[in-house]
Structure 1
Amino acid sequence: MENHISRIRSKLARAAAVPSLLESGGRRHLFRLNPPLSEEDVAWFEESREVTLPEAYRRFVLELGDGGAGPGLRMVPLHEAHDWDDLPHGFLATPSGLAPGTAHTRDWHDYPELRQGTLAVADLDCEYITQLVVTGPARGRLVNVNLAGWTRPVFAEDPDFLSWYERWLDELLAGWGVSLFGNKIPGDEPVLVDVLAHDPSADRRARAARSLISLPSIGQAGADVLAASIRDQDPAVRAAALLTAGAKRVAACEAPAREALTDPVADVRVQALLALHRLEPADLADRVRERLGDEEPAVARQAIYALKELGGLTAGDLEPLTTHPNPDLRNTAIRALRAAVDG
């Protein structure tokens, strides 16, 4: 743990000396931490909340700092980290129901007990926060949550707070993307490609595919595995691979993306449209136009958006959809008539 702390100090100083990092997210905090807390302050917090803080986090606030530089907008100071409104005494001491591998489908704002036993340690922006589990089976682990209930919780794979924080610095210094830090699987391209190709868990394969977006570029080995993953047996993996193929404009994924336009799962077809839009094949407009007649309204709507951006949308394309029984698709088609090239 001593090595963690000394390395973090050194890496914070290195990050503060990189102009490009200061010009991006680092300008909010300049890679500076707030002053550390005293042992008395931490002991008072623990006694008043009837908990003992996880050791790695406790060492951080005692020896490094209490909030400041960190993932997202900032690290949250301890006195704000348990500032939930209208929560009963003992809420932090009540075991959290959050644990890796547990499915949570309920909206966060409707079920505050899903926040119990946790501290909000990082503000990632747009209702996303990183919570540290203080009480419960996942004690010491970090999990990204959206308090509006838009997405399910995602546990960082790091074993403790210091490992998580140091990885944030490592990935920043390596030039990797750190948006929603903690969602990415730890590791470089070979590690992520191995997970994508061989992990028995479809959830981890999909997460590995999305994690590749964070890298500055994807090499040939990664491109080949990503292309193969568009044909994965699990639709979530196929959709994630298409998402990354489009985001990184991976040319090797064009052929399987074309195949995915007729995938049995609608979300995969939507992602195929998005990916091909970024890859820009010569016959893109023709392939997109074919999906205007898709049985799933969400796919047809995406085809309208794509053709509109391509400048090839015609009134003839839209006319059959202006009387579609699905109101969202019907309204999208009617509004898009104004952008039709022959309108």
Structure 2
Amino acid sequence: MYGEQVLRVREKLKQAAAADPNCQVFGARIHQYRLYEPLSQAELMQFEQQHGVKLPDAYRVFLTEIGNGGAGPYYGIHPLGKKQVIGLERIHEPSVLRSAAREDQAAGRMTKLCLDDDIDDEAYDEAMAEWCQGLLNIGEQWCGYETMLIVTGEYRGKVVYLDLDQTRFFFTYEEHFLDWYERWLDETIAGYESAWFGRRRGGDAQALMKLYHTEREEYTRFEALEGMLKLPSIAPETADFLVNQYKRGPANIPRLALQVLAKMDFDRADPLIRRTLHSQDPAARLLGMQLIKRYMPQGERRFMDELLALLPQELNEEAFRLCSKLLYEAGVEPLPLLIPFFKHPNLEVRIQAVYLAGKSADKANYLPDFIRALEDEEVRVQYTALQALGEVTDPGLMEIYEQLLRKHKTNKDYIRSYIKVRLEEFAFASLEEVEREIPTECTHVRGMLKKIVGL
């Protein structure tokens, strides 16, 4: 039944290794595209008899005709029954996991139990055992994320990803293990993005566009577009398709179409991103900035005029933060634009403005503005201003430092610690110099400096 697929998998494994000679694909340095020796039928049957279960056919064929683990998605495939993070005592029980479209009652109970501080250990262990029954741990992805094979129940044969820490799961799209495994080989050979293998729809651009056009369910169409994010590149006709969906697609489709286009063909996305930056919709502006941050080719300074114009009038907290960061990373001196935001009613905007202003080489010329930030009623603004004033050793700061030390009698908010750091930068050479240079009314500053100099 699987004879031709077995031959394809064997040949594609060689091609995958040749396509990735330096093992750059995620996890490849662990398995290096090598398989363990296949199991004998007797060894396989012994495992099945011991645990009272018959493994899915596609997986049995892999174990006996291809290899007992080794090369595979993420960190590879475990040898049968080895490296298990869940017990095998209930592997023969029907799996309770259901597809994403149906409620998973066991997972729901697990989530409630995990949130319960008074959880009974026995109740937790039982719920986890029920949630994991009928599953075989076939691979590891990273901390807390495991690859499982459903060996019993309604979805027997499907590969599912488990987040054991958050008790969440994801059903992969393929019908059985060998299809899932062969897809990994195909995508490795084609140079697809592999870090999140299996979580997006399979297929190349043509297959995904066909799925998009033939499916009526919006969620599936969304998945088809999202699947393009794994591709290494797209053809001009695919870019045309994405532009069309950006302009005419329903609901969340335009946002995703623009994201895919920005990742795959940033030049083609450029005028559409500019359109978002001029939008009256804060969410659209934020999307444009996010795409610039994530996908604009390194070293380029596009959109600087738009961002400079946006910053003084941007009211959305997250958009302001990202806009100011983009300008800073592009080498633009935004300090004069940031100063008015030191008094902004939104706390997070004030903090971000002070933080980025502190990175300016010209900040010493705006000392009165930073002093006003130090006098802010919010401790987080004071703290950020103290960080921002690194290497500024103006004597005019002594009085405001004295006020802060008097106000913050303990180091609960780390204000005193940062004042100490700032005072150390003044580099007084002796106790006599402290006595001579620091006003007598600054008793707390003098005391801290004497301890610093006396060390």
TM-score normalised by L of structure 2 = 0.64
Q: Does the CA-based 8 Å contact 1:242-1:271 persist in structure 2?
A: no
Other-structure match for 2:324:
304
Other-structure match for 2:237:
221
Seen in structure 2, the aligned counterparts of structure 1 residues 288 and 172 have a Cα distance that, compared at 3 Å, is: same
- Counterpart CA distance in 2 for 1:249 and 1:126 is 33
- Counterpart CA distance in 2 for 1:49 and 1:318 is 66
Q: Does the CA-based 8 Å contact 1:142-1:156 persist in structure 2?
A: yes
Of 308-317 and 102-111, deviating more is 102-111
Name the amino acid aligned to 1:136: G
Seen in structure 2, the aligned counterparts of structure 1 residues 210 and 330 have a Cα distance that, compared at 3 Å, is: farther
Other-structure match for 2:433:
none
Shift of 1:182: 1.0
Other-structure match for 1:54:
56
Seen in structure 2, the aligned counterparts of structure 1 residues 91 and 214 have a Cα distance that, compared at 3 Å, is: same
Seen in structure 2, the aligned counterparts of structure 1 residues 91 and 55 have a Cα distance that, compared at 3 Å, is: closer
Shift of 1:66: 2.0
Q: Does the CA-based 8 Å contact 1:36-1:61 persist in structure 2?
A: yes
Q: Does the CA-based 8 Å contact 1:292-1:301 persist in structure 2?
A: no
Provide structure 1 residue ranges, at least 5 long, that are not aligned to the other structure: none
> Given the alignment of the two structures, is residue 93 of structure 1 paired with residue 80 of structure 2, yes or no?
no
After superposition, residues 102-251 of structure 1 pair within 5 angstroms as: 102=102, 110=114, 112=128, 114-125=131-142, 127-149=144-166, 153-197=169-213, 199-231=215-247, 232-235=249-252, 237-251=253-267
Q: Does the CA-based 8 Å contact 2:324-2:334 persist in structure 1?
A: no
Name the amino acid aligned to 2:323: A
Name the amino acid aligned to 1:133: I
Other-structure match for 1:37:
39
Q: Does the CA-based 8 Å contact 2:201-2:224 persist in structure 1?
A: yes
After superposition, residues 243-322 of structure 1 pair within 5 angstroms as: 243-261=259-277, 262=279, 266=283, 269-277=285-293, 278-279=295-296, 284-289=303-308, 290=310, 293-322=313-342
- Counterpart CA distance in 1 for 2:165 and 2:258 is 26
- Counterpart CA distance in 2 for 1:326 and 1:82 is 50
Q: Does the CA-based 8 Å contact 2:274-2:303 persist in structure 1?
A: no
Shift of 1:218: 0.8
Seen in structure 2, the aligned counterparts of structure 1 residues 254 and 83 have a Cα distance that, compared at 3 Å, is: same
Other-structure match for 2:81:
79
CA deviation vs aligned residue, 1:208-253 (integer Å, no higher than 9, x gap): 2232232221111111122233343222x33433332232233222
- Counterpart CA distance in 2 for 1:118 and 1:88 is 8
Shift of 1:33: 1.0
Q: Does the CA-based 8 Å contact 1:318-1:333 persist in structure 2?
A: yes
Seen in structure 2, the aligned counterparts of structure 1 residues 30 and 116 have a Cα distance that, compared at 3 Å, is: same
Name the amino acid aligned to 2:172: A
Q: Does the CA-based 8 Å contact 1:197-1:229 persist in structure 2?
A: no
- Counterpart CA distance in 2 for 1:316 and 1:198 is 53
Q: Does the CA-based 8 Å contact 1:144-1:156 persist in structure 2?
A: yes
Q: Does the CA-based 8 Å contact 1:33-1:69 persist in structure 2?
A: yes
Q: Which has the higher contact order (CA 8 A, sep 6+)?
A: 1
- For the pair shown, the structure with the greater C-alpha radius of gyration is 2
Shift of 1:127: 4.3
Seen in structure 2, the aligned counterparts of structure 1 residues 168 and 320 have a Cα distance that, compared at 3 Å, is: same
Q: Does the CA-based 8 Å contact 2:311-2:337 persist in structure 1?
A: no
Name the amino acid aligned to 2:62: F
Seen in structure 2, the aligned counterparts of structure 1 residues 203 and 293 have a Cα distance that, compared at 3 Å, is: farther
Other-structure match for 1:7:
8
Seen in structure 2, the aligned counterparts of structure 1 residues 24 and 88 have a Cα distance that, compared at 3 Å, is: closer
Shift of 1:192: 1.5
Q: Does the CA-based 8 Å contact 1:144-1:153 persist in structure 2?
A: yes
Task: Compute the RMSD of aligned alpha carbons.
Answer: 3.4
- Counterpart CA distance in 2 for 1:154 and 1:260 is 33
Q: Does the CA-based 8 Å contact 2:134-2:150 persist in structure 1?
A: yes
Name the amino acid aligned to 2:175: P
- Counterpart CA distance in 2 for 1:264 and 1:149 is 34
Shift of 1:328: 4.9
Seen in structure 2, the aligned counterparts of structure 1 residues 47 and 156 have a Cα distance that, compared at 3 Å, is: same
Q: SS at the partner of 2:233?
A: coil
- Counterpart CA distance in 1 for 2:155 and 2:301 is 50
Provide structure 2 residue ranges, at least 5 long, that are not aligned to the other structure: 115-126, 364-455
Seen in structure 2, the aligned counterparts of structure 1 residues 256 and 66 have a Cα distance that, compared at 3 Å, is: same
- Counterpart CA distance in 2 for 1:120 and 1:272 is 41
CA deviation vs aligned residue, 1:73-105 (integer Å, no higher than 9, x gap): 211223236422xx6942662423231434779
Seen in structure 2, the aligned counterparts of structure 1 residues 317 and 195 have a Cα distance that, compared at 3 Å, is: farther
